């Protein structure tokens, strides 16, 4: 029966290795993996001992069993340190491995030296072959090492329990109990001389408990959990290259998006003749290794991709380049659709604004023409003065001094037709009088400037820009002011008169001089020119003199065209 029991424990131990590899395939817990293997070797040694027929076979089986007996305590101890997040130096690794190796070497001297076993006597125990040993002095070293592992494990347990809050206390207690059972059972079984039968059972108990614990450890191993979660949710392609631009590999998602990667050979340099290779090499050439990353976009076929390039690390050293590539097609198509929509919307708004402005200008011009139709003296005055303002303004624009005032000049040209809008509030008896005004009538007529400013502001405020409202208001209000302060309605003088009103005054008077009225004949261009030039500094701003002189021929040509 014992033979079958040992065979069953060996089979179960091998099965546990397979289970461990399955649940531990993506996590690095090498101590437990190695411990399962050496436990299986030790169980195999006990099985061979049970089948031994002579002393030589028994000694060989015992030596096989000591492979596990020498290394299981060390691996269990290192696993405990790893669980408690205690980093182990290379020197300690080498020291512990050396101690276990020395114990194994001492055990292998059995039969040739009495340093570990002085003698053995074959006996039958539980119906199978076993032996009783007389221990040599070196065996005491093994007992001491086992005791030190037990004490060290207890110290680590209590230290971690009271100081390390980032460790699962359930796993910690489980490991402590396992350590006590494993090492404690060693001393009990040696005293009862039944280790061949009980050790496999103890090992199976340890293996099953560790398997359960490893499954739980996965939940507390945040790095592995993050990696597993990211891999499960990952939709990104990863492609890596060495520092000398040799292809290293990629993930399955990369192969799905870029089938040409199947033609890339590992350890061979990327060829620029390949479309994808050219794109990736171009991005690498733009990447500064001192930067954290380099992000760019590219199109491959009909698809759009967003690429993030980083240094590929091995240990603490840069060993190449790693691309993370995401499918950006939906976003790019959405952006393009949104851009088209925005462009259409902007065009639509601009068209509507243009329509509204056109309607608005037509309404204002309509009102101005309505005023003009009531005034028998000023037929076509609005149109002519508006064009005269434009001619003078265009001449001023040639001067570098006024180049920054382009928006102002555009507003003035647009506001010029509104300069006499206040006449709509003047009584017909005065406005349509065929002769000259009396003093009382002229005083009433002069009110059109102030009334025009109020009408313009009421019409435009909240609809047009503040700058345009101000320009239009000033043109209507102050275009009859004189530079020497003798004008109306406020007798403003010099630069106190807004520039737009000073320009409007020149165009307004020039049109009055060269146009026929019911109370006067029109002047010749030469006479009008002399009047305007001589009035510079009295009626008009002298700074406008040179601009009027430079454009007076253009004014004359325009007025000639109006006669045809």
What is the DSSP annotation of 47-115?
HHHHT--SHHHHHHHHHHHHHHHHHHHHHHHHHHHHHTT----HHHHHHHHHHHHHHHHHHTTBTTBTT
Question: Structure pTM?
Answer: 0.45
Least confident of 142-156, 168-182, 305-319, 431-445: 168-182
Task: Encode pLDDT of 383-409 as tens digits.
Answer: 889 899 999 999 999 998 888 898 899
Task: Provide the strand spans (E) within 343-475.
Answer: none
How remote is the C-alpha of 368 from its chain's centroid? 57
- What band does 366 get if pLDDT is binned at 50, 70 and 90? low
The C-alpha atoms of residue 64 and residue 51 are separated, in whole angstroms, by: 14
What is the DSSP annotation of 469-507?
HHHHHHHHHHTT--TTS--SSS---GGGS-HHHHHHHHH
pLDDT for res 220? 46
List every span in the chain annotated with CATH 1.20.1070.
2-227
- What band does 327 get if pLDDT is binned at 50, 70 and 90? confident
List every span in the chain annotated with CATH 3.30.450.20.
234-327
User: How far, CA to CA in Å, does 204 sit from each of 14, 17, 183, 184, 473?
Assistant: 10, 11, 15, 16, 100
pLDDT for res 222? 46
CA-based nearest residue to 504, from 453, 466, 435: 453
The C-alpha atoms of residue 79 and residue 85 are separated, in whole angstroms, by: 10
pLDDT for res 227? 47
Least confident of 115-124, 290-299, 371-380, 414-423: 371-380
Whether residue 218 is predicted with pLDDT greater than 60 in this model: the reply is no
The C-alpha atoms of residue 535 and residue 548 are separated, in whole angstroms, by: 12
Coil, strand or helix at 462: coil
Q: 492 with 483: CB under 8 angstroms?
A: no
CA-based nearest residue to 369, from 418, 431, 415: 418
pLDDT for res 531? 93
pLDDT for res 130? 79
Please give the CATH superfamily to which domain 346-563 belongs.
Hypothetical protein af1432 (1.10.3210.10)
CATH number of 234-327: 3.30.450.20
Of 89 and 334, more confident: 89
CA-based nearest residue to 388, from 477, 506, 482: 506
The C-alpha atoms of residue 345 and residue 343 are separated, in whole angstroms, by: 5
Least confident of 132-136, 184-188, 291-295, 443-447: 184-188
Q: 291 with 281: CB under 8 angstroms?
A: no
List every span in the chain annotated with CATH 1.10.3210.10.
346-563
The C-alpha atoms of residue 287 and residue 497 are separated, in whole angstroms, by: 62
Task: Encode pLDDT of 142-187 as tens digits.
Answer: 878 878 887 887 787 777 777 755 566 666 677 667 666 666 666 6
User: How far, CA to CA in Å, does 511 sit from each of 123, 380, 433, 507?
Assistant: 140, 10, 20, 6
Whether residue 356 is predicted with pLDDT greater than 60 in this model: the reply is no
CATH number of 2-227: 1.20.1070
pLDDT for res 487? 93
CA angle in degrees (0–180, nearest 5) for 342-345-351: 140
The C-alpha atoms of residue 74 and residue 69 are separated, in whole angstroms, by: 10
pLDDT (mean) for 215-232 = 52
């Amino acid at each position: 029966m014992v033979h079958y029991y040992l065979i069953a424990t060996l089979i179960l131990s091998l099965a546990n290795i397979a289970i461990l590899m399955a649940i531990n395939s993506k996590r690095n817990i090498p101590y437990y993996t190695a411990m399962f293997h050496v436990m299986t070797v030790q169980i195999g040694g006990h099985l061979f001992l049970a089948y031994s027929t002579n002393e030589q076979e028994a000694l060989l089986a015992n030596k096989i069993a000591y492979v596990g007996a020498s290394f299981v305590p060390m691996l269990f101890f290192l696993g405990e340190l790893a669980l408690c997040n205690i980093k182990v130096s290379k020197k300690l690794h080498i020291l512990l491995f050396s101690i276990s190796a020395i114990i194994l070497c001492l055990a292998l001297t059995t039969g040739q030296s009495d340093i570990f076993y002085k003698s053995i006597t074959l006996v039958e125990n539980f119906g199978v072959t076993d032996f009783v040993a007389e221990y040599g002095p070196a065996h005491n070293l093994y007992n001491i090492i086992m005791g030190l592992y037990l004490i060290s494990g207890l110290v680590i347990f209590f230290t971690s329990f009271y100081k390390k809050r980032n460790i699962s206390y359930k796993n910690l207690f489980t490991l402590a109990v396992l350590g006590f059972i494993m090492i404690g059972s060693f001393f009990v079984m040696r005293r009862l001389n039944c280790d061949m039968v009980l050790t496999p059972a103890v090992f199976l108990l340890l293996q099953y408990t560790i398997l359960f614990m490893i499954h739980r450890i996965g939940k507390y191993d945040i790095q592995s959990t993050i990696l597993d979660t990211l891999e499960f949710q990952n939709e990104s392609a990863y492609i890596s290259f060495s520092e000398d631009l040799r292809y290293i590999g990629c993930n399955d998602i990369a192969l799905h998006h870029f089938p040409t990667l199947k033609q890339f050979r590992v350890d061979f340099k990327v060829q620029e003749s390949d479309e994808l290779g050219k794109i990736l090499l171009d991005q690498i050439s733009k990447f500064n290794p001192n930067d954290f990353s380099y992000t760019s976009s590219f199109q491959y076929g009909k698809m759009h991709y967003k690429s993030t390039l980083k240094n590929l690390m091995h240990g603490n050293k840069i060993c190449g380049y790693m691309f993370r590539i995401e499918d950006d097609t939906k976003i790019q198509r959405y952006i393009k659709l949104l851009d088209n929509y925005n462009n259409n919307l902007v065009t639509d708004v601009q068209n509507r604004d243009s329509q509204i402005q056109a309607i608005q200008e037509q309404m204002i011009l309509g009102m101005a023409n309505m005023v003009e139709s009531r005034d028998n003296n000023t037929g076509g005055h609005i149109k002519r003065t508006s064009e005269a303002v434009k001619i003078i303004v265009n001449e001023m624009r040639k001067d570098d001094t006024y180049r920054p005032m382009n928006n102002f000049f555009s507003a003035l040209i647009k506001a010029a037709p509104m300069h006499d809008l206040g006449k709509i509030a003047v009584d017909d008896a005065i406005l349509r009088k065929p002769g000259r005004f009396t003093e009382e009538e002229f005083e009433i007529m002069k009110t059109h400037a102030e009334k025009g400013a109020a009408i313009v502001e009421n019409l435009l405020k909240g609809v047009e820009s503040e700058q345009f409202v101000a320009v239009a208001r000033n043109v209507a209000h102050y275009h009859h002011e004189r530079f020497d302060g003798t004008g109306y309605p406020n007798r403003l003088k010099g630069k106190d008169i807004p520039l737009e009103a000073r320009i409007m005054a020149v165009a307004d008077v020039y049109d009055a001089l060269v146009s026929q009225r019911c109370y006067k004949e029109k002047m010749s261009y030469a006479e009008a020119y002399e009047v305007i030039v001589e009035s510079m500094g009295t009626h008009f701003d002298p700074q406008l003199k040179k601009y009027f002189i430079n454009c007076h021929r253009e004014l004359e040509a325009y007025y000639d065209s109006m006669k045809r």
